[in-house]
Chain A
């Protein structure tokens, strides 16, 4: 360290100013819009700001579509995190089994991470496209027909079926999201598994631990910090998920696959209801902040070096 310098501040000042404006300034601006009457293009053009308090928030929370969005986000987040973490652990354990050729498999499992969400959405959208089944099925439904499992055909992301508030049309999107991100959690867990000292594993084996016990009693507890990071990272991705849903299904019939980001986009950029759109985005920001801020403080206090 060279020592504290005022010059240091000068050098990073452009970045600080940029973040101050583009992050904090713009968030304040969005908050201001969300408390206004800017719900049409003409009201924006006139530019007469009328403060309406929390009326926009009241309106979105009593909006049936937004309520559906919140339920969808809840279930999507839950199953997406569970699925991605479970897959990540399974894949990491398989790769860590020290078989020959695991390197190739590792690369196969991780490659979806390099793809755009819109590519994933387009591709899986085609795979899960139900077609006009049972008469004229497409995608997976067609595959089911060809292998004689026609009774397994269903509407995938076009169905309005639900279990309580859980829209089952979300399942194909969850599968696509898990497909894309499980390689990432695999990489995290793999790094964790390789960091466990061999002596600990050997000691447990000497004590007669079965592979099952070895995992649940020894390895999994040691991987806890990784599980926590994975949950935070995946959680904040799923709270603001947009591209994948937009490219794969859009909001779907009866909004079965709608999420806040899609609704926000349509309100703001298709319907010119800027104030309502802004209030949804602020709700999204609060949800993400609740997840991320405590974690940021926690990891900054834990170590000088912030690793996320």
Chain B
């Protein structure tokens, strides 16, 4: 073996070692989730189950199924509305402009970074006041509003790349403000829409703080809250909990697997998690 091959061998060994570290939790999720409860508690945690059992998954689906549905009912409208809002805002902030737009944009952007704890109590009081507390609708509203900064940012950055000449030409040809958006920018923005939709879908699906405070009754809560509540029961059924974690992780994971390219683009376009 020459020296070059040694180097390659080392690099692969390192990559493999890291891959094991990153995949280990997935293995644990599967190995525990597919065991029956009596097999979990004994010393076989690190072994893959000899007898596959769907007991954990059945239990998890039974307990988390309604919450899974809640999550979809929350995420789909919230994602679509905030993508649409972001696109309109991005268009104005990049191509139309108005007096003082930069400072307003900065003020909007700051909303993306605030710890939501600092608005949480008023938010709950406000939602109680307008009758949306403890409803999926209240969560949709919350995620749409706090999604404005990031979706506006992604679309604004995207539209910045569209040559001004294109927009001006359409304008001179007689297209109005909305005509330009509808005929020129909209058709160009499919990739940006994909990025934003994936981004919002994943983030809202995974969100926990708003979910646990805005929806207080278990039947209304999204799946992230229900998963945490599984741990609160007297005897922790680890197989069910791991199956539940897998269930919670599945939709974003599928998106990552099939649309990873766009996921990464959103991540790098202006990404903040948490």
Contacts and interface: CB of A to CB of B under 8 A. Distances in A.
B1 interface: no
Interface in A104-146: 105, 107-120, 122-127, 138-139, 142-143, 146
Contacts of A1: 95-97, 164, 167-168
B93 interface: yes
Nearest to A87: B18
Contacts of A306: 109, 153, 157, 270
Interface residues of B, number: 97
A109 B18 contact: yes
B93 A12 contact: yes
Interface in B219-267: 224, 227-228, 231, 238, 241-242, 244-245, 248-249, 252-253, 255-256, 260, 263-264, 267
B107 A116 contact: no
B129 to A, nearest CB: 12
Interface stretch (B50-58, B116-124, B186-194): B116-124
Interface stretch (A151-159, A165-173, A275-283): A275-283
A94 B43 CA distance: 36
Interface in A56-111: 90-91, 94, 97, 99, 102, 105, 107-111
B215 interface: no
Given A23-B119, A27-B114, A282-B118, A15 B152 contact: yes
A233 interface: yes
B126 interface: yes
Nearest to A27: B118
Query: Do most interface residues of chain B lie in helix, strand or loop, or is the interface mixed?
Result: helix
A114 B121 contact: no
Interface string A268-308: 11000010011011101100110011001100100011111
Given A99-B11, A108-B19, A142-B45, A5 B177 contact: yes
B200 interface: no
Interface string B124-159: 011000000000000000000110110011000100
A308 B97 contact: no
B206 A126 contact: no
A114 to B, nearest CB: 4
B38 interface: no
A122 B227 contact: yes
Interface in A16-62: 16, 18-19, 22-27, 29-30, 33
In which size bucket is the chain A interface? 35 or more
A91 to B, nearest CB: 7
Nearest to B241: A122
Given A2-B177, A284-B118, A127 B272 contact: no
Contacts of B28: 123, 126-127
B115 A278 contact: no
Contact of A247 (B85, B228, B238): B228
Given A19-B107, A111-B22, A240-B115, A5 B14 contact: no
Interface in B192-214: 202, 205-209, 213
Contacts of B272: 233, 236-237, 308
Tell which of B111, B117, B145 has the most Cβ of chain A within 10 Å: B117
Interface stretch (B61-69, B72-80, B98-106): B98-106
B227 A281 contact: no
A18 B82 CA distance: 13
A94 B253 contact: no
A163 interface: no
Given A15-B108, A111-B256, A297-B106, 6 more contacts: A2-B96, A113-B267, A117-B206, A240-B116, A243-B274, A246-B228
Interface of B: 8, 11-12, 14-15, 18-19, 21-25, 28-29, 32, 43, 45-46, 85, 88-89, 92-93, 95-99, 101-102, 104, 106-111, 113-123, 125-126, 145-146, 148-149, 152-153, 157, 160, 164, 167-168, 171, 177, 180, 202, 205-209, 213, 224, 227-228, 231, 238, 241-242, 244-245, 248-249, 252-253, 255-256, 260, 263-264, 267-274
